[in-house]
Copies of this chain bind each other. A is one copy, B any other.
């Protein structure tokens, strides 16, 4: 599909949808580094985690939203976008790098599980494509991505110039603020935290109840080597991320159950 060239092929996706400001900032940041292909959802897909479309059909449409860049919008999830890019659009050529984002909102800690942005990157890791998810700690649709672009450029350059470990991706989170305010970039571990949810119960026009999911993110991790700690102290955080969820530390506990 793509022309023959020695420039790295960079696959771009996100979960806020192809018209979000964040993916446009990401495309601008990565286009100097190689040939860019965009395959992104046609609508917001936040919180879709690693969902794939098994009961629904997928639509794929050429998009002219990025000048001079091959782009497609897809009716499915971020992971669907990655699969369609690899197995339907590219077929014979593997991307040299997959970047996802820049997400409008934080994906640190256990948000990696809920995040469509990061699930697209994890799907890249499954395919053994170097993959990076970028997220800015700002949910605003008009968020300022200047500091994010600086981090993207730095991380992408290093990713293309160094050996990227196999079957790993990066979860990069950038604190809200200016480039000058950014204290640096830290390699971190995923903080132990979870959502203490609550539901906003309302009545529809017929008097029937419905709910909005809401909640507070609660950090129960006192470590100073976590992504949350880095972000709270003005650093961008990078968590090297993998997909083996085996709880090796408790294998023997369960073996003792004599099942």
Q: CB distance A168 to B58 under 8 Å? A: no
- In the assembled complex, how far is the CB of residue A51 from the closest CB belonging to chain B, in whole angstroms? 4
A241 to B246, CA, bound (A): 5
* Given known A-B contacts A110-B243, A245-B245, A46 and B54 have beta carbons under 8 A apart: yes
Question: Does A86 interact with chain B (Cβ within 8 Å)?
Answer: yes
Max chain B Cβ within 10 angstroms of own Cβ: one of A46, A52, A201, A253 = A52
Interface residues on A, range: 35 or more
Binds B, one of A1-9, A26-34, A92-100, A154-162: A154-162
Overall SS of chain A's interface: mixed
Binds B, one of A141-149, A173-181, A184-192: A184-192
Q: CB distance A212 to B57 under 8 Å? A: yes
A126 to B255, CA, bound (A): 23
Question: Does A24 interact with chain B (Cβ within 8 Å)?
Answer: no
A154 to B257, CA, bound (A): 10
Question: Does A64 interact with chain B (Cβ within 8 Å)?
Answer: no
Q: CB distance B87 to A199 under 8 Å? A: yes
Q: CB distance B59 to A51 under 8 Å? A: no
From B80, B110, B239, B253, contact of A165 by CB (8 A)? B253
**Minimal Cβ-Cβ distance residue in B for A186:** B259
Q: CB distance A87 to B197 under 8 Å? A: yes
Q: Which positions 48-70 of chain A face chain B at CB distance < 8 Å?
A: 48-55, 57-60
Q: CB distance A168 to B250 under 8 Å? A: yes
Q: Which residues of B contact A213 (CB under 8 A)?
A: 52-54, 58, 80, 83
**Minimal Cβ-Cβ distance residue in B for A244:** B190
Using an 8 Å CB-CB cutoff, how does the interface string of A234-256 with B read, 1 for contact, 0 for none? 00001111111111111101110
Q: CB distance A58 to B199 under 8 Å? A: yes
From B50, B209, B246, contact of A190 by CB (8 A)? B246
Query: Could you write out 9 A-B pairs with CB less than 8 Å apart?
Result: A49-B51, A49-B52, A50-B114, A60-B209, A83-B213, A113-B122, A113-B243, A113-B245, A240-B246
